Amino acid sequence: MLRDKDLVSVQEARSKVEKAWAAFQHYRRFTQEQVDAVIDRMAQAARAGAERLARLAVEETGYGNARDKTAKNLLCSDTLHQAIRPLKTVGVVREDAEQKVIEIAEPVGVVAAILPTTNPTSTAIFKILIALKGRNTIVLSPHPRAVRCTCETAALLYQAAREAGAPEDVIQCLEQPTLEATQEIMRHRRTGVILSTGGQGIVRAAYSSGKPALGVGPGNVPVMLERTADLRRAVRLVVEGKSFDYGTVCSSEQSLVIEEPLRDQVLAELQANRAFLCDQNQKKALEKLLITPDFRVNPACVGQSPTKIAQMAGFSVPPETSILVVELEGMGKEHPLSAEKLSPVLSLFVVADFEAGCKLCDNLLHFGGLGHTCVIYSQDDARIREFGLRMPAMRVLVNTPAPQGSVGITTNVFPSMTLGCGAMAGNVTSDNIGPLHLINLKRIAYHVREAAQAFRSPEGQAYFATGATGRPGDGGSAPRPAIAARVDQYLASRGLDSTVPAANPASQVVDRFLTSRRSVASSPPSPASLTAPSPPSGPAPPAPPVEVVPFVCESDVRRAQREGKKIYIGSKTIVTPAARDMGADVIVKTD
């Protein structure tokens, strides 16, 4: 029976997204305690299987080494688990009693997770844990060259999740991944968000899918070794970082930039750390081998040992070699090894001083690592801060290996296998991605002020003093002339003359009213506060049986309801629409 692989894979993608969506309808109702039980059990299973999964990844992809891949698996099942365990991701996650705002977590739904071939098992553990921590379900799309180890990782965590009470189908993994299948899960109507890790092509596809997407940019990490650094320690850590998993981490060191006076000592320290210093012929051989004519990384060299890469380039190095070092005179396409290499090959640049080093590091980041990561080794805090302010990178690491520092092993940045590079690299975030990126927050916000009280500027005050349209309630209050006219009418009915210059009762009442509307701290005025003061002289008119107020707003009604009082109005009393709607139980007409 003939089968079209692409059609079969697309159908598998559709089916698994639908299954994940159905599971989401149940999982979204889990309590925080239930979610954390699922996360704890999965993390425990991943820790127990960390070494086995690392070996599977190396056997299937041929990239990196099992020891360092085990460390990456433990990063996600141990360090990451510690970081996310206390996070609130269900129900009310924050309540500000003073501001009267309550924040409630809402899951995003089905997460479409695109995985790389360089870190297939650790990235799978990472994405599953952060997705399910936010009460989401997940569909994994493995790299075609890492299907077996990725699916095995997903199966291990799925079994653990089910044992902890998670719904059936909460984790799905494509067994026949194709480009078409990956595009299908990214564009599927049930997909809530895309979490993409891989080459620039797949990340661009995620951002152009029409769905919310969290992707990353490429890395071309420069390391500045400033003259106050502890050189022995600095060089040791640079080699440690560059050799980690044979350079497969996108935040691995790519270029070491040193000041001229340090050259001889740095070269000696590199050799002391088993680095092999290549000559000009070896450099040219590596340029042809590592970077293809269309300026891409040769996939055959990704994550290979330094001895194998040297052999592929046509020369030999000692078996204990940690990294290969190539000194360059310039950067750019004329110098291919100044780009990202994804292998244990480090470029070395010698510059005149710190200023020249900063400019070169800036250029290297623009040459293929914009927004990602850079490193400085220094004991001069002023230089460290200057470097950090100038570099177009979202992770500026200090005195630490780049891969371990960027993912949160040796620093306190959030533990993550997906490192955002910010808007400068076309990414939606500059953060190390975590579970809080996979939830939405809805807010309950209480009424805390009248509209006019929100404005402090002279323009805002003037707007609410004169009104927007001349109608009560528009712009926060009735216009001042209209209020004054009504108050004048009211005072005239009481036998008072509001036009007397020595005492202008109407003006006083209006001014007191407008002042009360503009004051955030003051309580709503009582109806009594809006009545005219007693005239300075003359016989007092007969007192009405009740006190009739000239103006009633929403705050007056609330106050009366709170105090159990009535508000008496006459035919000329101004009552705002909102006050009339809500004040039927307290507003009493007197005529």
Are 65 and 245 in contact by the 8 Å Cβ rule? The answer is yes
Q: Which amino acid, 307?
A: T
The string of pLDDT tens digits covering residues 530-559 is 444 444 555 555 555 678 888 888 778 888
Q: Which two tokens stand for residue 119?
A: 């870190």
pLDDT > 90? residue 342? yes
Whole-model pTM: value is 0.79
Question: How far is the C-alpha of 43 from the C-alpha of 38, rounded, in Å?
Answer: 9
Residue 76 pLDDT? 97
Same domain, 210 and 342: no
Between 280-290 and 306-313, two packed helices, what is the crossing angle to 10 degrees?
100
Q: How confident is the model at residue 489 (pLDDT cuts 50, 70, 90)?
A: low
The string of pLDDT tens digits covering residues 558-579 is 888 888 889 988 887 888 877 7
Does 97 fall in a domain?
A: yes
- In this structure, is the dihedral angle defined by the CA atoms of residues 8, 13, 14 and 20, taken in order, positive or negative? positive
Same domain, 181 and 126: yes
Same domain, 68 and 171: yes
Same domain, 274 and 403: yes
Question: How far is the C-alpha of 590 from the C-alpha of 490, rounded, in Å?
Answer: 14
The string of pLDDT tens digits covering residues 256-306 is 999 999 999 999 999 999 999 999 999 999 999 999 998 999 999 999 999
Q: How confident is the model at residue 382 (pLDDT cuts 50, 70, 90)?
A: very high
Beta pairing class for 101-107 and 91-96: antiparallel
Q: How confident is the prediction for the chain on average, in pLDDT?
A: 88
Top-ranked range on mean pLDDT: pick from 69-83, 443-457, 546-560: 69-83
Does 425 fall in a domain?
A: no
Considering only CA atoms, which of 242, 266, 249 is closest in space to residue 321?
Answer: 242
Are 220 and 291 in contact by the 8 Å Cβ rule? The answer is no
Q: DSSP labels for 68-116?
A: HHHHHHHIIIIIHHHHHTT---SEEEEEETTTTEEEEEEE--EEEEE--
Same domain, 478 and 564: yes
Task: Please give the tally of structural domains in the chain.
Answer: 3
CATH label of the domain that carries residue 240: 3.40.309.10
Considering only CA atoms, which of 539, 495, 489 is closest in space to residue 509?
Answer: 489
Does 88 fall in a domain?
A: yes
Last residue within a domain, chosen from 426, 444, 462: 444
Are 162 and 168 in contact by the 8 Å Cβ rule? The answer is yes
Q: Which amino acid, 374?
A: C
The string of pLDDT tens digits covering residues 143-160 is 999 999 999 999 999 999
pLDDT > 80? residue 492? no
Same domain, 71 and 57: yes
Lowest mean pLDDT: which of 250-254, 261-265, 361-365, 506-510? Answer: 506-510
Same domain, 353 and 398: yes
Same domain, 487 and 396: no
Q: What is the largest CA-CA distance in the chain?
A: 117
Tokens 């101004």: give the residue. Answer: 574
Does 427 fall in a domain?
A: no
> Which one-letter DSSP state was computed for residue 340?
-
Does 410 fall in a domain?
A: yes
Are 177 and 9 in contact by the 8 Å Cβ rule? The answer is yes
> Which domain does 459 fall in, by range?
454-589
Does the annotation count 553 as an active-site position?
no
Same domain, 261 and 203: no
Same domain, 292 and 153: no
> Which one-letter DSSP state was computed for residue 419?
B
The residues with which 224 forms a beta bridge, in sequence order, are 257, 376
User: How much helix, strand and coil, in percent to the nearest 5, is found in the chain?
Assistant: 45, 15, 35
Question: How far is the C-alpha of 356 from the C-alpha of 371, rounded, in Å?
Answer: 20
The string of pLDDT tens digits covering residues 165-201 is 999 999 999 999 999 999 999 999 999 999 998 777 7
The residues with which 432 forms a beta bridge, in sequence order, are 419
The string of pLDDT tens digits covering residues 4-62 is 777 889 999 999 999 999 999 999 999 999 999 999 999 999 999 999 999 999 999 99
Are 220 and 374 in contact by the 8 Å Cβ rule? The answer is no
Residue spans of alpha helices (H) in 137-199: 147-163, 179-187
Does 428 fall in a domain?
A: no
Same domain, 270 and 196: no
Considering only CA atoms, which of 34, 48, 106, 37 is closest in space to residue 77?
Answer: 48
Same domain, 158 and 274: no
Does 407 fall in a domain?
A: yes
Residue 132 pLDDT? 98
Beta pairing class for 171-173 and 137-141: parallel
CATH label of the domain that carries residue 42: 3.40.605.10
Q: List the catalytic residue out of 151, 250, 278, 421.
A: 250
Question: How far is the C-alpha of 493 from the C-alpha of 590, rounded, in Å?
Answer: 14
Does 236 fall in a domain?
A: yes
Taking CA atoms, 199 is separated from 206, 219, 364, 402, 431, in Å, by 11, 11, 19, 20, 19
